[in-house]
């Protein structure tokens, strides 16, 4: 079935550092890919998305490129701020695989230290 794998463990980094969170997927069809973010005490918010190969989603300085050849959708930001501290979830939706559900990765806690 469809699944998403995120790199293990929390990510701690200093303000203005470069952030990368790895995400790979398996899917039966041709999925759309998403990054959701959960700030402390809040719900899941869509951060960015890409619906076809080589698409780049971007928002708030974050970027991710849909790489079909490596089945990846890694999240990057060039210079993080303390306010970026949150949990980041990679997800896919594969309607051609027969359903409309989102399949999520485990999430990565990102802590940005001033």
Partner 1 sequence: EPEVTQTPSHQVTQMGQEVILRCVPISNHLYFYWYRQILGQKVEFLVSFYNNEISEKSEIFDDQFSVERPDGSNFTLKIRSTKLEDSAMYFCASSEGTGSGNTIYFGEGSWLTVV
- Listing DSSP states for the chain in one string gives --EEEE-SS-EEEETT--EEE-EEEE-SS--EEEEEEE-TTS-EEEEEEE-STT-EEEETTEEEE-BTTTTB--EEESS--GGG-EEEEEEEE-GGGT---EEE---EEEEEE-
Site stretch for partner 1 (CB under 8 A), options 8-16, 19-27, 44-52, 77-85: 44-52
Site stretch for partner 1 (CB under 8 A), options 9-17, 41-49, 66-74, 77-85: 41-49
Out of 25, 35, 36, 62, which residue is the one contacting partner 1 (CB under 8 A)?
36
Binding to partner 1 by residue 42, rule CB under 8 A?
Answer: yes
Binding to partner 1 by residue 106, rule CB under 8 A?
Answer: yes
Least distance to partner 1 from the beta carbon of 45, Å? 7
* DSSP H/E element including 62: strand 62-65
Binding to partner 1 by residue 93, rule CB under 8 A?
Answer: yes
Out of 27, 75, 86, 103, which residue is the one contacting partner 1 (CB under 8 A)?
103
Binding to partner 1 by residue 74, rule CB under 8 A?
Answer: no
């Amino acid at each position: 079935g469809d699944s998403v794998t995120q790199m293990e463990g929390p990510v701690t980094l200093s303000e203005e550092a470069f952030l990368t969170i790895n995400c790979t997927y398996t899917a039966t069809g041709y999925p759309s890919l998403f990054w959701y973010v959960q700030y402390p005490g809040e719900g899941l918010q869509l951060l960015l998305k890409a619906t076809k190969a080589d698409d780049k989603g971007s928002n708030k300085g974050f970027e991710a490129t849909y790489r079909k050849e490596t089945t990846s959708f890694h999240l990057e930001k060039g210079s993080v701020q303390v306010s970026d501290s949150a949990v980041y979830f990679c997800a896919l939706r594969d309607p051609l695989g027969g359903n409309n559900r989102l399949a999520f990765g485990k999430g990565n806690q990102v802590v940005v230290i001033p």
